[in-house]
């Protein structure tokens, strides 16, 4: 057996043995149900494992099968997602469940081309579900796996570049051990999360200590190479808390695709020093006559690409006029019935009813 084949076998065996002894006890690891693995993988995108566990358990309790999710009301799905952010994930998961029900008879497909047609599922998620649920040889290459392979093979190309991702996908596929594809996929993810971490990797406890080219070259802290992300764009935002008696006005989908389907407060981007003009414009577009406009406070919320500096005003509507967009007038006891993203929860939690 040549050196390359020996190294490949050592990597496979060492990684699988380490995973067997050190894997975390996570609820989605107790099942091979592709639906439940799918839910976990979508939730884990952009979200910490510790945060996901409680959301996953509640979600599966409410929607235990793909048929249950497909039959659910979107607002109910979004309510269960409230606080996780990136709400397009929940909408796509709901649409995807309906597609699995209608096009695949409720059975999750095993063919990559079919899987990738499901809303919200790209190459990584497809690979994760197919390998973990069905033990099929399709790699799941996320940030953790990109980091691990860039170090193990001393890959110095930018991992943000498509050609580098493709190279690592090919290597990951070539290294998947037959019959253990699912465990190998999870082991790579786990190694990146616990040992081969972004800063100061824990090389002394790594099962690939002797196989890692970056460590042997002393460049593990320099890899992976990745271009820096642009900073979120600062935005001056103005919001209105419009009351009428003991109720306040909430509107649906106030910012297009960003928070589609969610509920929040009327608002617009404004200019520093011109908040009053923005408030007047918001009220005019809503068709609401209001009085007693007062500055109520400020808050801040950072999205991936935007940094909202929020200026919040309170006023009283003369009556519950018809508003030219989906809306509700709600009392304090009704707030739990609507899905509010974190940006609006910051406002909602401070309202004095």
Query: Is 41 in the active site?
Result: yes
Q: Give Dmax over CA atoms of the chain in angstroms.
A: 84
Task: Find the catalytic residue in 10, 41, 102, 285.
Answer: 41
β-pair type (306-317, 267-269): unpaired
* Dist. CA 165–CA 157, nearest whole Å: 10
Q: Rounded to whole angstroms, what are the CA distances from 82 to 12, 89, 336, 345?
A: 39, 12, 10, 10
Q: Give the torsion sign (CA, 69, 74, 77, 83).
A: positive
d(CA 325, CA 330): 15
221: tokens are: 């802290």
The DSSP element (H or E) to which 323 belongs, if any, is: none
Distance CA 307, CA 298 (A): 13
CB 285 within 8 A of CB 211: no
What positions carry a catalytic annotation? 41
């Amino acid at each position: 057996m040549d050196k390359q084949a020996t190294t490949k076998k050592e990597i496979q065996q060492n990684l699988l043995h380490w995973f067997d002894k050190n894997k975390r006890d996570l609820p989605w690891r107790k099942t091979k149900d592709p639906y439940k693995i799918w839910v976990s993988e979508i939730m884990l995108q952009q979200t910490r494992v510790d945060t996901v566990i409680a959301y996953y358990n509640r979600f599966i309790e409410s929607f235990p099968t793909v048929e249950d999710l497909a039959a659910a009301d979107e607002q109910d799905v979004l309510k269960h997602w409230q606080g996780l952010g990136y709400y397009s994930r929940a909408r796509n998961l709901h649409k995807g469940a309906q597609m699995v029900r209608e096009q695949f008879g409720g059975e999750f497909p095993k063919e990559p081309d079919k899987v990738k047609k499901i809303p919200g599922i790209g190459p990584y998620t497809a690979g994760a579900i197919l390998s973990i649920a069905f033990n099929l040889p399709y790699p799941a290459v996320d940030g953790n796996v990109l980091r691990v392979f860039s170090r193990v093979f001393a890959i110095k190309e930018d991992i943000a570049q498509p050609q580098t991702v493709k190279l690592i996908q090919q290597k990951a596929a070539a290294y998947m051990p037959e019959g253990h594809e699912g465990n190998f996929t999870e082991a790579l993810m786990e190694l990146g999360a616990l040992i081969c971490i972004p800063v100061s990797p824990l090389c002394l406890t790594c099962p690939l200590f002797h196989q890692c080219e970056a460590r042997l070259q002393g460049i593990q802290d320099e890899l992976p190479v990745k271009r820096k992300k642009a900073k979120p764009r600062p935005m001056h935002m103005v919001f209105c808390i419009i009351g009428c008696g003991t109720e306040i006005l909430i509107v649906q989908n106030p910012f297009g695709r960003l928070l589609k389907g969610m509920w929040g407060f009327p608002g617009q981007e404004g200019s520093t020093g011109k908040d009053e003009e923005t408030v007047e414009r918001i009220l005019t577009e809503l068709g609401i006559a209001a009085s007693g406009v007062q500055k109520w406070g400020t808050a801040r919320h950072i999205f991936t690409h935007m940094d909202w500096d929020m200026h919040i005003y309170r006023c009283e509507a003369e009556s519950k006029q018809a508003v030219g967009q989906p809306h509700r007038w709600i009392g304090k006891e009704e707030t739990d019935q609507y899905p509010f993203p974190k940006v609006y929860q910051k406002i909602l939690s401070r309202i004095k009813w």
